[in-house]
Structure 1
C-alpha cells in the first residue's frame, strides 16, 4: 500500500451524487454515489455482483449507451471538467489517453483479427502526433514494461496465440501506452488462476508507482483490496455503504454488510465451523426495498432501518458508514446463515 497518497490531497477525479437509471427499470441502478481519487492513489470499489460497480465505471468512461442509460443527477469532475456532461467527441479524446480502462476478460476486449503490436500502436497513433514506426516502437516498449517475454516476437502474435495472463498484460500495456492520469481496472484478475492473478496485481502496482497514475480497482475480492488498496468504498445495491482507508475498514468495519463480507473470507488459522455467508441476494433494480437497501439481509435491522435511507456519516476522519446502528459495538458479530 502506498503511504504517499495523503501527501497530495487534491483529487484528480471527484464523483459527487452520481445517480443513474435505465429507462426500463423502476429504480436507480446507481444511487447518489460519491467518491474521489488522487494522483498516485488506489481506490478499491468492492461489493457483490450486481451492486453497480461496473456500471459506475462504464458511466465515467462514457461507455454506456444513452439511452437506455440515463444519468439523472450528479457530477464527475476530472481535470476540471464534468465527465458526465462532456460532448462525445471530447470524451473520445480523453478515453484511452488521459483515462484508460482494463476490462475483466481480455479476449473480448482485444480484436482477434489484428496483431497485438498493431492494436497497441493504434491507441498511440489515435492520441499522439507520432509516425507508425514510432507507435510500433512504443508498443514494443510497453510489452517490455509489462514483462512479456520475447516481446519483439510477440508484437506480431494474434490474441489467440497468448495465454489469458499474457492477454491481460497486453490489455495493461494498451491501457498505459499513453501514460493516463487515471486507470480504471474492472475485475482485471477474475478470469486468471491465483498465481497469475498475484503477478498481474503486482505488475499493476509497480507500474502505478512508476507513473503516479491514479487507480480505481473494481473487485468483489477483499484479498485484492488488501493487496493494492489505499482507500476502499464498499458498494451495495447501487449505494456506497462504507468508505475509508483500507486499514480503517479492515480493522474496524462499521457497516453490517462490510462485516458480512469480512466474515465470508476463509481463514488460514481458524478451521472450526463452516464459512459464514450473508443470507439472501442483492435486490434487483426493480425490487429495491425502501430505507436501507441492506435491511432485508441484515441481522441488526429494525423497523426504523426500513423507514428511511441512512446517510453516509463520518464516524472518524475519513471513515464513514451508512448505518443508523454505527458505530457497531465491538462484540457485535455477523450471525448470518451458514453455507
Structure 2
C-alpha cells in the first residue's frame, strides 16, 4: 500500500494542551505535521456549543478532530458535524484511561470491544468522505496484547479505518491515574512493529515516549507514521526539524524568535477578541528549552502573563530574557 504522507508525523491529541491556540502556534513551526484537537465527546459535539468546541483557524490544516464515544449513530452524526466544520480527519479515541471515559464506557475501555469499535468506524465511514482513524493502546489491564491489539486492528481494518495509531503501552484502568498511565506501563515498541508486519497493507503509526527526531526516524524504518505528544508540546522547537528531515522541505521559520514574530499577529487578534494572553502563552513556555535565558522566559510568562490586562508588552519583556544568537533547539 502506498504510504499516506499525511500520517508520517503528527502531534498527539492532548487534553488541556492541544487547543486551537496551541495548534495555531505549532503550525508556525511546521507546515506538514498533522495536528489533532483535544478529545471532544460525541455528546458535546451533538448538544454543546459547537463553535467554541470545534472552531479552528483555516491556517491549522491539516488538522484532525478526535472524538470520544462508543455509540455508532452518535459517532456518525458527530463525525458528519466535524466534516462540515472542515476537519481533514476524524479520529476515534480508544486509548484514554481517565475516570471520565471509564464512566462513559469509551476511550481505553473500547479495547475490550473491538467489534463495537468496528461498528463505530463503519458508521463514521458511511457518514463522511474524509479519513476515519482509530487511536488505541496495546491493551488494558490483564489483556494479552497479542490478542487485544490484533483483534482491534483486524476489526477496524475490516470496517474500513484509514489508519491505526497505537500508543505502545497498556492502559491500567484499575490502580493507575491517567498521569501514571502515561509513564508507568512499560513501552513495547516491538509489538507495534510486529503488528505492522502482520498487517502490511494497513497504515499504522506509533505513539508513546518518542522524544527526538532520531527516534522518530528509527520508528519510521518499521512503521508508516510517528505521533509525538509531550515532547512536541514541552519542546516545541523540535517541530522546526519536521519539515526538513521528514518531508524534504524548508522549515517555515528559522528559529524561535522568528516563530514568535509570525505568531504575534495571531496573539494580537485574539487579545482584541477578549482572550487572555496566558491562554496563548502557556503553549510557548518550552520554546527556548536549553537556551540561555529560557528559565527567565518561562518565569516571566508564567507570572506576568496571567495578570489582568497582560498584552504583547508582557510577551516582549519575557523575550528580552532570551539570549539572541544562541542555537535554537534541535532534537538530537
**Which is greater in Rg?**
1
Is the strand fraction higher in 1 or 2?
A: 1
The answer to which structure, 1 or 2, has the higher relative contact order (CA under 8 A, 6+ apart) is: 1
Query: Which range, TM-score by smaller chain?
Result: 0.3 to 0.5
Give the TM-score of the pair, scaled to structure 2: 0.41
